[in-house]
Structure 1
Amino acid sequence: MNVKKIIEIVTNIARPIVEKFNLELVDVDFVKENNEWFLRVFIDKEGGITIDDCTNVSRILSDKLDEVDPISVSYYLEVSSPGINRPLKKEEDFIRFKGRKIKLKLFKEIDDKKILKGILLGIKENKVIVNLKDKEIEIDFNNISSANLDE
């Protein structure tokens, strides 16, 4: 079972469903925890999402996944908010959350550190610009293993 391929297929199925409700598809995750598989779909909108948003997406997505059947094992579907530490995945995320505190995990160290916390200043030419204790640094987008809001 190729987890990356499942995430890609589910993302392609979920995106139009989520957008139908004027919501944003933030992330899709498929993980095994304590011998159980979980398909997690994270959605958001300006001002935050409601239980109804999650329920509406979950019902339609569940039906579509049953129809297409892209996952050969049994799993639990969870549709929720990305939470206060929302992941930043797309270039638009780094534009939208400019001025906010972020936490970056890097593949390669910068100044002997693989985890950086600072203020997001933006993104340009495939580099994320962050203020770290009054020092502005540019981090190659490809060096970022994960990025999250850090509240």
Structure 2
Amino acid sequence: MPSLNQTRPQHTGLEGRIADLIAPGLESIGYELVRVTIMGKQTPTVQIMADRADQTQLSLDDCERISHLVSAVLDVDDPISSAWTLEVSSTGIDRPLTRVKDWNRFAGHLAKIEMDVPIAAGRKRVTATVLSADDTAARVKLDTGETVDLPHHDIRKAKLVLTEDLIKATETPSPPN
């Protein structure tokens, strides 16, 4: 069984508190938390990005179900002292890479990565081919051919680059006739 580090995103601060509050409930009804983002100050928007645990495409009904669960949890636990709005969405094809399992699932595809600390010739932003990941780091191949390990705690954000190969890899097979 994979560790929680592999199946849940790592968040800090208020986003981490919200993730810790909602992830178990989402998992209990067949979803996986991909990302929590809080945008704005006066009336913050809590953005929840999720996947279906069975890896099928997230539907509008799924987003509605997730929204009801998250709203109920946040209303009870009240981690945000002011009024807030909730936005629930699927990951999309050019999804963020927030969990170890995402890095491993999309090995061989391109990702744009933004680091908190410089890597490779002092760059903080790179586009690289995803190779693999474990609990401590993501392994990527830079355009120079160099393979580097990027500690998860130093990755500010990472997302897949929309390419023909990625589209093909994520296409839903047509139902049999």
For the criterion TM > 0.5, the same-fold answer is yes
- Out of 26, 30, 35, which is 2:34 matched to? 26
Amino acid aligned to 1:32: G
**Equivalenced residues, count:** 147
2:18 corresponds to 1:10:
yes
2:150 corresponds to 1:143:
no
- Structure 1: runs of 5 or more not aligned: none
Deviation of the 1:20 alpha carbon = 2.2
- Structure 2: runs of 5 or more not aligned: 1-11, 163-177
Deviation of the 1:118 alpha carbon = 2.0
Change (3 A) 1:65 1:127: closer
With normalisation by structure 1, the TM-score equals: 0.84
Contact kept in structure 2, 1:100 and 1:149, CA below 8 Å: yes
**Per residue, is there more strand in 1 or in 2?**
1
Alignment of 1:67-86 (within 5 A): 67-86=76-95
* Structure 1 vs Structure 2 CA RMSD: 2.1
- Out of 103, 107, 120, which is 1:110 matched to? 120
Contact kept in structure 1, 2:100 and 2:135, CA below 8 Å: no
Contact kept in structure 2, 1:127 and 1:138, CA below 8 Å: no
With normalisation by structure 2, the TM-score equals: 0.73
Amino acid aligned to 1:38: T
Change (3 A) 1:101 1:74: same
The 4+ residue runs of structure 1 with deviation greater than 3 A are 124-127
Identity of aligned residues (%): 28
